[in-house]
A = this chain, B = another copy of it.
């Protein structure tokens, strides 16, 4: 079954909120309750859930343990995903410290940075090596995903090297639109663009279609 991309983007959000409901001891939840908690309209939630084969019952709602099990399997929450961080400057070292510790299933296991000594060093518990050793060392860490937080001028070169090393997904925080082979998925979050867009929205309220 094909799932629309917009639905896919809400999967891990649904999972998180269902966990909240489960932790609060709730066994069932209505699309209205989810809608209020998540700020997503309830028609969207019902449509999304129908793709997952989860049909809520009128006056009963959705079964929380069933849904949690479904999302856990779908999102492979039980499988830990190893992540590499490339570029440990301001933003990169914030990620090293944070290390997505609220997600038990994703973990930065290795980092590369130009300022690291050739023998490596430990920052926030993570080994950080010089990028000259990436081809030699990255294969030891069973990594499929890389977070790219290098300066713009190195972004494309690093992306090429990561693709060559078999990385399947790159979370790109540089402003560069990087080009890679079709089998590597790049997801770009450009924080300046996000900020600019928010500014444009508040200055042009009413001129934008929702």
Contact B13 A202 (CB under 8 A): no
Are A192 and B94 in contact, with the CB atoms below 8 A? no
Q: Give every chain B residue within 8 A of A210 (Cβ-Cβ).
A: 5
- A91 close to B (CB within 8 Å): yes
B169-A198 in contact (CB<8A): yes
Are A200 and B12 closer than 8 Å at their CB atoms?
Answer: yes
Most chain B Cβ neighbours within 10 Å, of A12, A15, A74: A12
Whether, in the assembled complex, A63 has its beta carbon less than 8 Å from a beta carbon of chain B, the answer is no
On chain B, the residues within 8 Å of A179 by CB distance are: 39
Within 8 A of B (CB), among A162-198: 168-169, 171, 175, 177, 179, 183, 185, 187, 189-198
Contact B197 A12 (CB under 8 A): yes
One complex includes copies of this chain to the number of: 2
Alpha-carbon gap, A200 to B144, bound state (A): 12
Task: Say if the beta carbon of A119 comes within 8 Å of chain B.
Answer: no
Q: Is the CB of B8 within 8 A of A192?
A: no
Residues of B within 8 A of A3 (CB): 207-209
* Smallest Cβ-Cβ distance to A6: which chain B residue: B209
Output the nearest chain B residue to A98 by Cβ-Cβ distance: B90
Q: List 19 A-B contacts (CB under 8 A).
A: A3-B208, A4-B208, A4-B209, A5-B208, A8-B208, A12-B193, A74-B200, A75-B199, A81-B199, A90-B94, A91-B94, A93-B94, A103-B192, A106-B199, A144-B199, A145-B202, A185-B202, A187-B198, A189-B189
